[in-house]
Amino acid sequence: MVVGVTPRFLAKGARSKGRKAYFRKFMPQFQQWALMKDMLNKLVLEQRVETTLPKAKELQQYAEELVFLAKKHTAYHDSQVESMLTSPEARQILYERMLPRYQDRAFHFTRVVNMFRYRFRDTAQLSLIEYIDRPGELRPANPVGAARVQHVAQEFLATRRGRRRHLNEMERILGKPGEPPLDAGVLDRCRLEVLKSSGTPLKFPEPEESEIAKTAAAVEKSEAAEANEAVEAAHDRPVHAAAAA
């Protein structure tokens, strides 16, 4: 027992299902888990649910763990996902739409927004819970993956404040092996601004040659060697003929 903390407002995890302490308790355990499964199924189907603030915070842990388990993509974790969702339509949306959407995002798939208004019949505080990175969300989420690199480059080149703010992250992006997902002109400008801001020349990794470039270089090398052999043979032929005469 944690001293000074009310147990009913602490989340324990989706696997406890209300059997441990530190869990928001709204009703008996069997009723609450059935309520959470129904709300979770509705959230996956509609991608946004309006409910009271305590229930939204309680539902958020299950919504996060649902995507986390589905991304494991093993028989054991798929069985856990099937036990948490109550309809095949919700499972189809999860595997076909949501997993490709969150392939670059490791966590934080949901958002809880306090609406700062109260329900008329019991003055319960209302809120929204929704999945992010989708059309129609309340506000854009922080990008990840290639979209994050492009966002940082755009902010870095826009203003001096952006260059001060994103300088360290841009240095890490440019220092990684391989070409970042940026246009050639934008990449050159970013390298120039990093060089001007840091004041010391950076060692950027050279771009990796593609298979076509490697093949073309090998063909050119072989053609050059054959040409050199032909020239040497042409120079040596009169000498051999004179010696034979």
Rounded Cα distance between 159 and 189, Å, is: 13
The predicted model gives 49-55 an average pLDDT of 95
Summarised one tens digit per residue, pLDDT across range 173-232 is 999 888 899 999 999 999 999 998 877 655 555 555 556 666 767 777 777 777 777 767
Residue 75, pLDDT > 80, answer: yes
| Residue at token pair 């009169």 | 238
The DSSP string of 137-193 is -SSPPPP-THHHHHHHHHHHHH-HHHHHHHHHHHHHHHHSSS--SS-HHHHHHHHHH
How many Å from the N-terminal Cα to the C-terminal Cα in the chain?
Answer: 110
Strand ranges of the sheet holding 125-131, from the earlier edge strand across to the other edge: 48-52, 125-131, 110-118
What 3-state DSSP class applies to 2?
A: coil
Q: Which residue has the higher pLDDT, 8 or 97?
A: 97
Summarised one tens digit per residue, pLDDT across range 95-128 is 999 999 999 999 899 999 999 999 999 999 999 9
Kindly report whether the global pTM for this prediction surpasses the value 0.75. Answer: no
Helices (H) and strands (E) in the chain, counts: 9, 3
The predicted model gives 62-75 an average pLDDT of 94
Residue 22, pLDDT > 50, answer: no
Please name every residue paired with 81 in a beta bridge, in sequence order, or none if there are none.
none
Per-residue model confidence (pLDDT) at position 228: 76
Rounded Cα distance between 170 and 161, Å, is: 14
